[in-house]
Amino acid sequence: MVLYRMLPHPEHTRATFRKLARQMSKLGEKLAPENVHKFRTSSRRVEVLLSDLAENRTGNDKKLLKLLGRLRKKAGRVRDLDVQSGALRSLKIPQEPGRKSQLMRTLAEERVRREKKLAKSLDKRTVGEVRKRLKRTIASLEIPENADPLSRARQKLNDLEVDQGVVTEKTLHQFRIAGKRARYIAELAGKDAEATRLIALLNHMQDVIGDWHDWVQLADRAEELFGGVQDSALVSALRNITRAKFRQAVNTLTETRAALAGKKPISVMPSSREPSRQGSGAASAVA
């Protein structure tokens, strides 16, 4: 029997839709990093409600999801550049200051291009359509009485396995994405103590794996410009950072999985293979 406290509170679900509507307006006014980020997280929460908890999806719901997915993907590309620029500014190395400046300019120029594409997508017609479909979805949304956000959040993670006890770049990407969805689902359980614990664990895992992912993207971009580690001290420094952050992400994932299972940390080893450039690009626009 599912306890009522585990069910998504109606006011909580309505607030999720209202927040996205507000973020749509803010994003349309100014494509500041904070507005881009909040739009992405707000749209993902709505997507999780419709995809993982709603009993049925209407034609309107499906069109809304398609619209949000297209906008979120473009916003994600802008957000990636904001995060990479921040990471690069934090990097303090004496070697190749000129190349660091060049990379910063490259990121800034691409940010301008991506911002223009996002702005073009946020025309009045599109924003109006999203708002209209949000209102329709709020009016018709039905969450099953047996919906248990906490159980469904855990299931998102239980469905993933670590092959032969070896964590690869692909493994981290899978848990990064599933962890976000699981956290957003768990948030719908309200102030339940177990949900609060789960959210805290997932937040930490996301932060560590996400940090690794951001630095990998930055290193990939530097390598495209300047060549491999043998060609550039900047690239070499970035690759050293990504290796260290990869090990940290693997340890955090291991600890998180053990905590969720109520066990001591499982013996899981990082892949001995050097993280590939292709592996990071596949998930670069996922939020």
Reported as a single tens digit per residue, the pLDDT across 13-69 is 788 888 998 998 888 888 999 999 999 999 999 999 898 888 788 999 999 999 999
Q: Is residue 204 part of a domain?
A: yes
pLDDT at 273: 44
pLDDT at 84: 97
Q: Is residue 210 part of a domain?
A: yes
Average pLDDT score over residue span 235-253: 96
Q: Is residue 286 part of a domain?
A: no
pLDDT at 10: 62
Token digits for 31?
């494509």
Q: Which of 115, 187, 105 is nearest to 149 (CA)?
A: 187
* Per-residue pLDDT tens digits for 74-122: 999 999 999 999 999 999 999 999 999 999 999 999 999 999 999 999 9
Number of domains in the chain: 1
Average pLDDT score over residue span 191-205: 90
Average pLDDT score over residue span 112-138: 92
| Residue 266 pLDDT level (bands cut at 50, 70, 90) | very low
CB 13 within 8 A of CB 141: yes
More confident: 245 or 187: 245
Token digits for 71?
């906008």
pLDDT higher than threshold 70 for residue 269? no
Token digits for 203?
């937040």
pLDDT at 164: 63
Q: Is residue 122 part of a domain?
A: yes
Q: Is residue 217 part of a domain?
A: yes
CB 20 within 8 A of CB 42: yes
pLDDT at 270: 52
Maximal CA-CA distance, the chain: 64
Q: Is residue 236 part of a domain?
A: yes
pLDDT at 2: 38
Q: Is residue 111 part of a domain?
A: yes
CB 5 within 8 A of CB 188: no
Q: Is residue 150 part of a domain?
A: yes
Mean pLDDT of the chain: 85
Eight-class DSSP state of 263 = S
List the domain range (segments joined by +) for residue 9: 4-281
pLDDT at 278: 37
CATH number assigned to the domain comprising residue 10: 1.40.20.10
Q: Which residue has 């906490």 as its token pair? A: 150
